[in-house]
Structure 1
């Protein structure tokens, strides 16, 4: 179908829907949701066959307004907090999935740079982690407990202190995205260089497996959450750099709102990572291998599923084929 014919065929429907949204002229939320699915299908069709068309921006805005209206007018038996994590955040992660992928690519590259730097410069680890920390780690390795540092302090004290620090890092990584994303990249670079050199240090000393069993019990969720927070910072930065059809200020507000939602979604995982580090990691050297590996795989699986797989399931659910699906137009 030619673009002109596509627009002519659906124009009246879109305008009617837009007017109904503005005037809140719907008998019930289910009717609004049904019309929303139709618009989503039209948007998918336009993105497939008219990728450079201005109608895509219009339908994007129309569907975004409809989405907000749905969640404001849904029946009161739906818990707003539950719907935030169950539907809203996954849909945002699906829409901005490229930023998440890019954040992981950058994370991998920076971590690799840290490991390579440590491998080629014997003093690099000390310059990054400091002499005191390296010396302490060497003493722990000689004592047969490479990750003994995680045993210092009380359980609750460690949990609270670590969680607050990780929340601070995540918030800073997001906020610094306002500097066109450069600030977020700086935070990523520092943390990834430390991680890469830190892990290579243990590899060089022959205790890599022991370090993995200890560090990644909490690190799977902790590091993953930080990467997602950095993705939110990149969204904020690109909203300023590339406003598309919006004014730069409007684009910034939209990017900030989206980024904040993603940032907030990571907080439960950050708390879980802090709990594991404060209460579980300290026992990594005495627990069975299968248990430590199991904890790592389970925690990594949970957060990976939520941010990388579940968004596709939610998107698929709200875009089930209808009479206006691309195949039927």
Structure 2
């Protein structure tokens, strides 16, 4: 890229950064830190392709001023956790809705494959879910309690065991993203096939609605956040495959941090899913309307927090930024 084109492409961002450093524009220390990383990336690029140029000198001065300001002013908020869940994470996650969509579509595809395989191969369900589970479920069906598996353990023990297991699966879905995202897609495939064959098994037994109204009480959140953890793994993998204007190492660092933030956001939801499975799902005698209400509320919560709210918050921040820029222009 020619130096003039590089300057033209980024000058507005640099001017915004100058205004922040001169206190003409106010942003959070965390946002300032993010801008600083981007400026230092531009500086590295200028040093490589435009050595000893005016652009390099300018960016070096800008980066030096930013470094001093960041480490003088950056303080951890007393409400850091609240800020993370209400501001920092949702704003960041708008960048990764594409990875979320990919993880969801892959998962949905393999749910369909799992159901199709179970319908066309007699031993597929046993091979995938295991003879022990299938035989136990058939025994429960004969006893008139097909969902009895959710009543075998005490509430708290089931809650704790399920929550820890779900977090383990989420860690795998994220960690396997190091394999260029392929590992995360494998986890989506594995869990998708399991779900598809599992639901088809109950369909064969004439218990599709009975199983769905029970399982999805906790499964709505549980499955959703496993997909979101897969999204985190894809973010990690994409950071290595598509570094953009960053060095591959810097892109990987950013991908790892963003992936971890996505993973951290799922922890409260896994706890909620574990609570529902341990304490609520076992009550198979509950009326249909209550089960439907819990399932619908769970789905609405996931869609609100991971889709609607990040988009709305991002638009709000963009409007505030435009308003501040307009105010600054008027003052100048």
TM-score in terms of structure 1 length:
0.79
Q: 1:295, 1:224 → 2: CA distance?
A: 15
Q: Note the aligned Cα RMSD (angstroms).
A: 2.9
State the 1:140 CA deviation: 1.2
Match of 1:106 in 2: 106
1:1-329 correspondence to structure 2 within 5 Å: 11=11, 14-19=13-18, 25-27=21-23, 31-32=26-27, 79-283=79-283, 285-320=284-319, 321-322=322-323
Match of 1:46 in 2: none
State the 1:20 CA deviation: 6.0
Determine helix, strand or coil for the equivalent of 1:317. helix
Larger radius of gyration: 2
State the 1:304 CA deviation: 1.5
Structure 2 unaligned regions, length at least 5: 36-61
Q: 2:110, 2:309 → 1: CA distance?
A: 27
Distance verdict in 2 for CA 1:150–1:106, change over 3 Å: same
1:248-300 C-alpha deviation (Å, 9 max, x unpaired) = 111111100000000000000000000000000000x2111111111111111
Q: Which structure has more RCO (C-alpha within 8 Å, separation ≥ 6)?
A: 1
Query: Which structure 1 residue ranges, 4+ long, deviate > 6 Å from structure 2?
Result: 74-78
Q: 1:10, 1:241 → 2: CA distance?
A: 24
Determine helix, strand or coil for the equivalent of 2:117. helix
Structure 1 unaligned regions, length at least 5: 41-61
Distance verdict in 2 for CA 1:20–1:149, change over 3 Å: same
Determine helix, strand or coil for the equivalent of 2:243. coil
State the 1:32 CA deviation: 3.6
Q: 1:94, 1:180 → 2: CA distance?
A: 21
- Contact 1:125-1:201 at 8 Å conserved across structures: yes
- Contact 1:179-1:237 at 8 Å conserved across structures: yes
State the 1:238 CA deviation: 1.1
State the 1:76 CA deviation: 7.4
State the 1:111 CA deviation: 0.7
- Contact 1:174-1:230 at 8 Å conserved across structures: yes
- Contact 1:26-1:32 at 8 Å conserved across structures: no
